[in-house]
Structure 1
Amino acid sequence: MHRQARNKAGLASDAQAGFVRSLDARILHHLSHLSPAPARLVEAARDAMGSGKRLRPYLLHLVAGDDADGCAVLDMAVALEMVHTASLIVDDLPSMDNATLRRGRPTTHARFGEATAILTAIGLLNQAISIANGLPGLADGQRGALVAILSGVMGWQGLVAGQELDLNGFSDADQTDGALDRITRINALKTGALLCAAVEAGAILGGRADEERSLLRRFGEDLGQAFQIADDLADMLSDSAATGKDCRQDIGKETYLAVFGADEALRRCRALLAAADDALLGAGLDPGPFRHMIDAIFQPMLDRVPQARPASAAR
C-alpha cells in the first residue's frame, strides 16, 4: 500500500476508534442512570450493549460531519445502538431464531432468561426514544424528526415487519413480484432500515440539503442490501468462532445466497457496494472514512468466500 494511502487509513482507524471509545463511554453513562430499575435488568442491558461493530452509530457520525453538535450526535448514536441491540435480543429469542451466541458471547436470553431478555429489549427501545426526545441544542422540528426515525425503524414498516416476513414468509395478501422482490423487501426491512435510519439521522443533525439526503438514503439502502448478502455468505461459509454468532441460521430461508448461489451473491454484493459508493460521491461527502469503515466491516465477512476480493476492490 502506498505510504500516503497507509497514512490516510491510519488516520481513519484512529478517528473511528476514538469515536467508538466516546460512544461506549456515553452508553455506560446512560445505562448508569437507569436506577431505580432492577439491577438484573440493567446488568442485562449492559451485557447486551457491551460490544459490537458500532457500524450504525459511526455511520451516523460520518454523515453528520464535524460541524454538527457533537453531544447531540453522540446521544443520537447511543439511541440508535440501543434500538439495534434490542432488535438483536428479539431476533435471538427461542421463539424467533433461537440463537445461543451473539457478538462472541451468550445471547441475552441464554444468560439472563427469556423473560428478562424481552424486558431488556423493551426497556432499551423506550430509553432510545427518551434519549432522542431530549437531545440538546436542537429545534423541536429536528428533535421530532429524529424521534420519528427511531419509532419508524422499530415498527410496522421496519424491524417488526422484517422479522415477521423472515420467520413466517409472505401471505397471499402480500403482493410480491417473485423471489428477488421478496428477498429485497426483507433485507430492506431487517437490515437496510437501521442503516438508512443512521444515514437519515446523521443528515438531519448535519443540516444536509434535500438532494444530499436523497443520495445518502440510496447509499444506505444499497449498503443495507450488500450487508445482508455478505452476512448470509458468512453465515453459510464461516463458523461461529469467526463470526461471533450462531451460523447456519438461514438454512431453509429464501435468501439471495440460497436462490442465486454463492458466486452470484458475491457479484451482487460487490455491485451494491459500488452503487453505494457512487451515491456517496454524488452526495459530495469525503468517501475516505466511509470506504475504510466499509472495508473493515465487510472484508471479515467475505474473506472466506472463494476468490473474494476486498470490499474496496468493487469500486
Structure 2
Amino acid sequence: MHQQAIDKVNAASRHPDAQAGFVRQLDLRIARHLSQLSPAPARLAEAARDAMSSGKRLRPYLLHLVAGDAADSDAVLDMAVALEMVHTASLIVDDLPAMDNALLRRGRPTTHARFGEATAILTAIGLLNHAISIANGLEGMDDRQRGALVAILSGVMGWQGLVAGQELDLNGFSDADDGGDALGRITRINALKTGALLCAAVEAGAILGGREDDKRSLLRRFGEDLGQAFQIADDLIDMLSDSAATGKDCRQDAGKETYLAVYGADEALRRCRALLASADEALVGAGLTPDPFRSMIDAIFTPMLDRVPQAAPKAGAAR
C-alpha cells in the first residue's frame, strides 16, 4: 500500500511536465497554421497571432487527455488547434465594445483595443472559419468522423452554443424564452457560454480516441459540471478580485444574474467545489485514469479560488 501511494505521487508529479510538453507542441502547431494565412492582410494575420499567443490551453489539453491512445496523433493536435481558435474567437467577440467592452485579456490589451474594433471582428470570423477548415481536413479520419468533428465545432459556435449564451448573458431571457427559475436561467447561460466549449473538447477527444458511447455520456457530464464550476469560479474572481491579479477587466458582470449575485459568495464557493466533485465522479465512471485530469483541474482552479477573499469561515471548510 505504501508503494502504491508513492507511485501515485510520482505519477501526479509528472502531469505538469506532460501538460507543459503538450502546450509547447500545441503552440508550435498554432504557429504553423497561422504562418499559412498569406495572402491575408498582414495586419489581420498579426491580430490573429496576437490573440492566439497566450492562454491556459485548458480545452485543447482536455481533448488531448480524453483522446487517450490517440493523444499524440497529428489529428488530435490539429483538432486541438481548431478548438483553441474557436475559444479565442469567442473571447475576441466577448470583449468587443458592443459586448463587455473589455480592454484587458490575459494580462494584455484585448484585440479590439490594440487593432481596432473592425479588425477584431474580422479576426474572430477568420479564426472560426479556419477552425472548420482544419476539422474538415483532418488526416487519418473517415468521412463520418470528420463530419462529427465539424458538427461539434459548428454546434458550439452557433444557436445552441456560444451565440445563444452571449445573447442571453447580455440581454437576458425574453418572455418567449422558457427560462425557468433563477437557477435554471443561470445554469443554462453557464452551459452555453462556458460548458459548451468544454463539452466540445471532451466529445471531440472521445471521437478521436474511439471511446464507447456509454463512456461519452459520462464524459459529457464531466464537461458540463466542469463548465458550471469554471463559470462560477470566474464570476467569483470577477466580483471579488482585481484586474492586476486576474489579467483581465473585472466587475464585468455587475447587474447580471449570476450564481454569485443570487446566492452569495459562500454558497457560490460551495457549489463550485460540489460541481468539481461531481465532475470527478463522472470521470472515474467513464473509466479514464483520473490523475492527469485532477492535476490539470487543480492547477486551473486552485489559483482561481485562492484569489477569492476568504470572508466566510464556511469557504475553507468546503475545500
Say whether the fold is shared (TM-score over 0.5).
yes
Instruction: Measure the CA separation in 2 of the matches of 1:66 and 1:105.
Output: 36
Instruction: Compare 233-242 and 188-197 and name the one that shifted more.
Output: 233-242
Q: How many positions carry a matched residue from both structures? A: 311
Q: Report the Cα offset of residue 7 of structure 1.
A: 2.5
In the alignment, what sits opposite 1:211? 214
The answer on whether the counterparts of 2:70 and 2:76 sit within 8 Å (CA) in structure 1 is no
Letter in 2 for 1:34: L
Cα gap change, 1:148 to 1:30, in 2 (>3 Å): same
For residue 130 of structure 1, the aligned residue among 129, 133, 145 is 133
In the alignment, what sits opposite 1:234? 237
The reply on whether 1:247 has 2:233 as its aligned counterpart is no
Letter in 2 for 1:277: D
- What value does the CA root-mean-square deviation take over the aligned residues? 1.4
Instruction: Measure the CA separation in 1 of the matches of 2:248 and 2:270.
Output: 25
2:211 match: secondary structure = coil
1:66 match: secondary structure = helix
Task: List per-residue Cα deviations over 1:6-54 (Å, max 9, x = no partner).
Answer: 4333200000000000000000000000100000000000000000000
2:70 match: secondary structure = coil
The answer on whether the counterparts of 1:23 and 1:74 sit within 8 Å (CA) in structure 2 is yes
For residue 65 of structure 1, the aligned residue among 63, 68, 90 is 68
Instruction: Measure the CA separation in 2 of the matches of 1:127 and 1:139.
Output: 20
For residue 264 of structure 2, the aligned residue among 261, 268, 288 is 261
The answer on whether the counterparts of 1:303 and 1:309 sit within 8 Å (CA) in structure 2 is no
Task: List per-residue Cα deviations over 1:146-196 (Å, max 9, x = no partner).
Answer: 000000000000000000000000000001221100000000000000000
In the alignment, what sits opposite 2:17? 14
Letter in 1 for 2:169: D
Matched ranges for 1:119-158 at <5 A: 119-158=122-161
The answer on whether the counterparts of 2:63 and 2:204 sit within 8 Å (CA) in structure 1 is yes
Cα gap change, 1:68 to 1:141, in 2 (>3 Å): farther
Letter in 2 for 1:95: A
Structure 1 segments (4+ residues) deviating >4 Å: 2-6, 307-310
The answer on whether the counterparts of 1:216 and 1:279 sit within 8 Å (CA) in structure 2 is yes
Q: Report the Cα offset of residue 66 of structure 1.
A: 2.5
Letter in 2 for 1:231: D
Letter in 1 for 2:274: A
In the alignment, what sits opposite 1:187? 190
Instruction: Measure the CA separation in 1 of the matches of 2:26 and 2:316.
Output: 31
The answer on whether the counterparts of 2:221 and 2:282 sit within 8 Å (CA) in structure 1 is yes
For residue 287 of structure 2, the aligned residue among 284, 287, 303 is 284
In the alignment, what sits opposite 2:299? 296
Letter in 1 for 2:288: L
Instruction: Measure the CA separation in 2 of the matches of 1:309 and 1:132.
Output: 43
The answer on whether the counterparts of 1:192 and 1:225 sit within 8 Å (CA) in structure 2 is yes
Structure 2 gaps of 5+ residues are: none
The reply on whether 1:107 has 2:110 as its aligned counterpart is yes
In the alignment, what sits opposite 2:55? 52
Instruction: Measure the CA separation in 2 of the matches of 1:28 and 1:237.
Output: 36
2:56 match: secondary structure = coil
1:196 match: secondary structure = helix
The reply on whether 1:270 has 2:241 as its aligned counterpart is no
The answer on whether the counterparts of 1:222 and 1:272 sit within 8 Å (CA) in structure 2 is yes
